[in-house]
Structure 1
Amino acid sequence: MSDKQWFAIRVKPRQESLAAANLERQGFEVYLPMINTRISHAGKVSWQPRPFFAGYLFVHLSIDEQRWTTIRSTVGVLAPVAFGTFYPPLSDQVIALLQARHDENGLIAVSSTPESPFRAGEKVRMLDGAMKGLEGVFIEMRGQDRALILLDWMKKSMRVVADTAVLASGRR
């Protein structure tokens, strides 16, 4: 049984890979879950690996490895997630569940389920509500009637959980 625990580390915007490399260089065990994400740039669409949790990564530390000042001063890192002086560990099962979803490329696989009205990566459109008319990409089901979608809004991508009743396939 390992005496190590997983801890969440906040990193600077778009510097997850840099922070992970610098922490690994210092001998820390790092986990940066990645997902294949649809990217639109200059009218071209491509799929690229991006962090599953933008702005965060995880380190596996024993009590003697909890050198918070060293971690905090690492290039790309903002700070460990903490509540005052308490650094809450994550359950090993949470990390194991994420790692169990890796595909052959080491990316977290998100796939449609049989009850899903959409396929992963399918273009969808919001039919109602505050985001009516916006288009995005279906990622996965979140419960029986909720869907996680990646919306492109004001030149930014944002993850939104929406009721499947207000979504339609983007195919016209």
Structure 2
Amino acid sequence: MKQNVSKEWFAIRTKPQQEQVAKLHYERQGYVVYLSMMRTIVRHARRTEEKLKPFFSGYLFLHLAPDERNWVAISSTRGALGPICFGDSYVSVPDWIIADPQAKEDASGAVPLADLQKKGLLPGTAVAVQLDDDTLAQGLFYSFSGQENVVVLLSFLNRQVKATLPLDRVQRQ
């Protein structure tokens, strides 16, 4: 009688910029592959375009049952360098590492980074702003300014002053 053995995710290193090649060849071999993508903006010669790039650059993930773990075949697949291991031990990746980005993917299969960062920030939301290592200021979220900056209303000398800051300095309260 066969046991119902659960599959586990394993991280596979790929050759530089060969994630799609490795994914294609693993799928041809019948493996379940996950390659999380994100949308990035590329600027070159006065042109701006949006491209999809791997979320985990240089890695993809295989969902493997114990009888599918042919590490020699996995390591010799075109575009791949091999699974992540410590000595002779191949370490699985927790399911949530895969499930979290998968759940956030849009219709094109990309994880919308800007939406993840902006989550919960609406005009008028109270925020804490890190001004320097020791100083926190209270303010109100006003708007986004590009992909990585926000405009915040800070109270200064009994007035509301607009300040444009990096998104990583602002936390919702």
What interval of TM-score do these two structures reach, taking the shorter chain for normalisation?
0.5 to 0.7
What number of residue pairs does the alignment pair up? 130
Amino acid at match of 1:13: P
Partner of 2:134: none
Deviation, 1:164, is 2.0
Which residue among 31, 34, 38 is the counterpart of 1:31?
34
Please say which structure displays the higher CA radius of gyration.
Answer: 2
Structure 1 unpaired stretches of 5+ = 125-145, 148-162, 166-172
Helix, strand or coil: the match of 1:24?
helix
Matched, 1:96 2:121: no
Inter-partner Cα distance in structure 1 for 2:55 and 2:104? 12
What RMSD, in angstroms, separates the aligned Cα atoms of the two structures? 2.5
**Partners of 2:5 and 2:66 within 8 A in 1:** no
Partner of 2:67: 64
CA distance in 2, matches of 1:90, 1:120: 36
User: SS at 1:3's partner residue?
Assistant: coil
Q: Say yes or no: does 1:122 pair with 2:122.
A: no
Structure having the higher strand fraction is 2
Distance change (3 Å), C-alpha of 1:26 and 1:105: same
- Choose from 98, 104, 113 the match for 2:119: 113
Q: Structure 1 residue 81: deviation in Å?
A: 0.6
SS across alignment from 2:88: coil
Contact residue 38 and residue 52 of structure 2 kept, 8 A? yes
Deviation at 1:83, TM superposition (A): 0.5
Query: Tell me, which stretches of 5 or more residues in structure 2 are unaligned?
Result: 123-140, 150-165
Report deviation, 1:119: 4.2
| Alignment-mate amino acid for residue 114 of structure 1 | G
Secondary structure of 2:112 counterpart: coil
TM-score, length-normalised on structure 2?
0.67
